[in-house]
Amino acid sequence: MKIKIWKLQAASYFALLLPSVLFILGWVRTIIAIPMVLALFAAYFFIVRHAIKKYDAVFEMDKKSIITVAVLMLVWCYISGHGGFFYQSNDHHWRNAIFRDLINLDWPVIYERSDTSLVYYIGFWLVPALFGKISALFTTAETAWLVANIAMFIWSFIFLFLISLLVCYCTKAVTFKKVLLANLILIFFSGMDILGILITKNWDVTAIPNHLEWWAVEYQYSSNSTQLFWVFNQSTPAWLATALFLAEKDVKNFVFLCLSILACSPFPLVGLFLLLLCVGIQFMLRSIREDRFKDFLKDAFSPQNLIATVVILPVFYLYYKGNVAIETTGFRFFMGNMKYGEINVLIRYILFCILEFAFLALMLYDKNRKKPLYWFTIISLFVLGAFRMGTAADFAMRATIPALFVLMVFTIRHFNDNIYIHKGKVRYLCLKKSSIAIIAVLLIGTVTPLTECFRAFNAVYKTGKIDLKADRIVTFSDKPVKDYKNFMAEHYQETDFYKYLQKKK
């Protein structure tokens, strides 16, 4: 089956664009929103036109591979609890409350009882919530909730399917075995958390199944499956944007690509921006050497990049600025609690980095040592883990999502390029020492995603129920700000977003 690359890119960019469009239409005054949305669709037109001209190649996958990708992504999406048709992790209590409020309450979402507004990265829920709102016009609230959850499952699957296809394209996984390997690594990619637990003895073995990633106490880099189980609303758009970034050949879409995830993934955006900056500088230096600097500037200041900067950036900057948690804590350096001693904190952080990414990166050194993106990926993973924004470690955990995804792609490329050797018409399986070491790292890492899956199946087994929806909170409309400040803007009427952009009730 032949897949035109420009069509794959067009579909992916459209999926990333929709949340911003719906947010602007739902939250921003109509007289301002309409020109903004028209400008964003004009930017999308420039992106598609550029893709048709530059990415006219065809990526071939047989039907068996396509079906395999679809089935794996469907199963992964299902057992992660999307739509509430299987076990849902604890974070879904808050996420379902956001989702229900987006369905049942008018946009923008205002909580009159507490005199607050919903201020959170809500973009990923907007498309399925819209289906729920439309359904509510003709059916009961329960039916609308079901429709919205079905839409959520489909929406999540679309993202995962596009991500998988782009990963296969970026890693040149064209045969069935390579496609299967790429997708298995995508699903099970993780740091060696179980080794961290055994070394630090920071785990109660009687608490199986547990959440393995907090073995370092104050730091966490989540496995792909953990992200899908807990923070899918941030991770899937970030993965899709990172996969698109790896497929790009110039900087013409870079700014648009980065800002397109601002509605869903503001923390991952920071990590993606750093990677884009690294590659952008590389493109700039190459253009200077080749006497094409003017062409580089033309690409950097493309219509789509300028439109995204003028439209998306100010809207969401003003919107997020009203969040109570960010207002009170800000952005700060935090390597650990110094009551344990500076040396102990430093040693623990170094051990954390070694087990989460550095040892794997070392195994990939020979093949990638001349690639600036490889070095910048490692540096960003070392640095970002030591910063915080808000009340918890969310910034470090989420800003590193793009870099971890890039490291995963480097790993898949290593296997696709090094496993087989050809002698005449015969192909032999050949594992180098570095490949064996990487396989060992990946197998140790699978304990983490398998634990996530085991928790889900264990809960289903113990309760005898499949649809274990985590829905304790229900809504934020009757909740006090002090207990849910990550999601609300207090005194929202005083914020710049409300004064200059927000629709008035």
pLDDT, one tens digit per residue, over 429-485 is 666 667 888 999 999 999 999 999 999 999 999 999 988 889 999 999 988 887 788
Residue 289, CB-side half-sphere exposure with 13 Å CA sphere: 6
CA distances, 353 to each of 1, 166, 188, 226, 360 (Å): 41, 28, 19, 18, 10
**How does pLDDT run across 339-359, given as a tens digit for each residue?**
566 777 788 889 999 999 999
Which residues are CB-contacts of 329 (< 8 A; sequence separation ≥ 6)? Answer: 388, 389, 390, 391
Which range among 58-67, 204-213, 413-422 shows the weakest confidence by mean pLDDT?
204-213
| Token digits of residue 298 | 């033309």
How sure is the predictor about 376, in pLDDT bands with cuts at 50, 70 and 90?
Answer: very high
Amino acid at site 207: A
**How does pLDDT run across 138-161, given as a tens digit for each residue?**
999 999 999 999 999 999 999 999
Query: Mean per-residue pLDDT for 114-128?
Result: 94
β-pair partners for 388: 332
Sign, CA torsion 47/50/54/58: positive
> Minimal CA–CA distance to 192: which of 317, 60, 363?
363
How sure is the predictor about 294, in pLDDT bands with cuts at 50, 70 and 90?
Answer: very high
Q: Is the pLDDT of residue 416 over 90?
A: no
Say if residues 164 and 187 touch (Cβ distance below 8 Å): no
pLDDT at 59: 83
pLDDT at 210: 64
Say if residues 483 and 113 touch (Cβ distance below 8 Å): no
Structural domain boundaries of the chain? 2-500
Where do we find the tokens 């999601």?
487
H/E stretch holding 241: helix 232-247
pLDDT at 99: 97
H/E stretch holding 489: strand 488-490
Q: What is the 3-state secondary structure (H, E, C) of 58-113?
A: EEECCHHHHHHHHHHHHHHHHHCCHHHCCCCCCCHHHHHHHHHHHHHCCCCCEECC
> Minimal CA–CA distance to 444: which of 199, 242, 83, 103?
199
Q: Is the pLDDT of residue 205 over 60?
A: no
Query: Mean per-residue pLDDT for 93-120?
Result: 94
N- to C-terminal Cα distance for the chain? 51
Say if residues 222 and 203 touch (Cβ distance below 8 Å): no
H/E stretch holding 176: helix 176-188
Say if residues 341 and 240 touch (Cβ distance below 8 Å): no
Q: Is the pLDDT of residue 319 over 60?
A: yes
pLDDT at 489: 84
Which residues are CB-contacts of 406 (< 8 A; sequence separation ≥ 6)? Answer: 242, 246, 275, 373, 377
Distance of alpha carbon 78 from alpha carbon 69, whole angstroms: 14
H/E stretch holding 333: strand 331-333
Which residues are CB-contacts of 31 (< 8 A; sequence separation ≥ 6)? Answer: none
The DSSP secondary structure of 308-320, one letter per residue, reads HHHHHHHHHHHHH
Most trustworthy range by pLDDT among 209-223, 236-250, 315-329 = 236-250
| Token digits of residue 247 | 């497929």
Distance of alpha carbon 11 from alpha carbon 247, whole angstroms: 14
Distance of alpha carbon 183 from alpha carbon 198, whole angstroms: 28
pLDDT at 206: 46
Cβ burial of 249 (10 Å; 0-12, 13-18, 19+) is exposed
Strands (E), 110-263: 110-111, 116-118
Helix axes 266-289, 401-418, angle to 10 degrees: 60
β-pair partners for 111: 116
Which range among 99-113, 310-324, 481-495 shows the weakest confidence by mean pLDDT?
481-495
Helix%, strand%, coil% for the chain, nearest 5 = 70, 5, 25
Distance of alpha carbon 22 from alpha carbon 246, whole angstroms: 27
The DSSP secondary structure of 33-59, one letter per residue, reads HHHHHHHHHHHHHHHHHHHHHH---EE
Helix (H) and strand (E) counts in the chain: 24, 9
Strands 426-429, 420-423: pairing is antiparallel
Sign, CA torsion 59/64/65/67: positive
What percent of the chain shows pLDDT beyond 70?
Answer: 91
How sure is the predictor about 490, in pLDDT bands with cuts at 50, 70 and 90?
Answer: confident
Query: Mean per-residue pLDDT for 301-320?
Result: 96
pLDDT at 64: 93
Q: Is the pLDDT of residue 417 over 80?
A: no
Cβ burial of 228 (10 Å; 0-12, 13-18, 19+) is buried
pLDDT at 114: 86
Q: Is the pLDDT of residue 47 over 80?
A: yes
H/E stretch holding 427: strand 426-429
pLDDT averaged over the chain?
A: 90
Q: Is the pLDDT of residue 208 over 60?
A: no
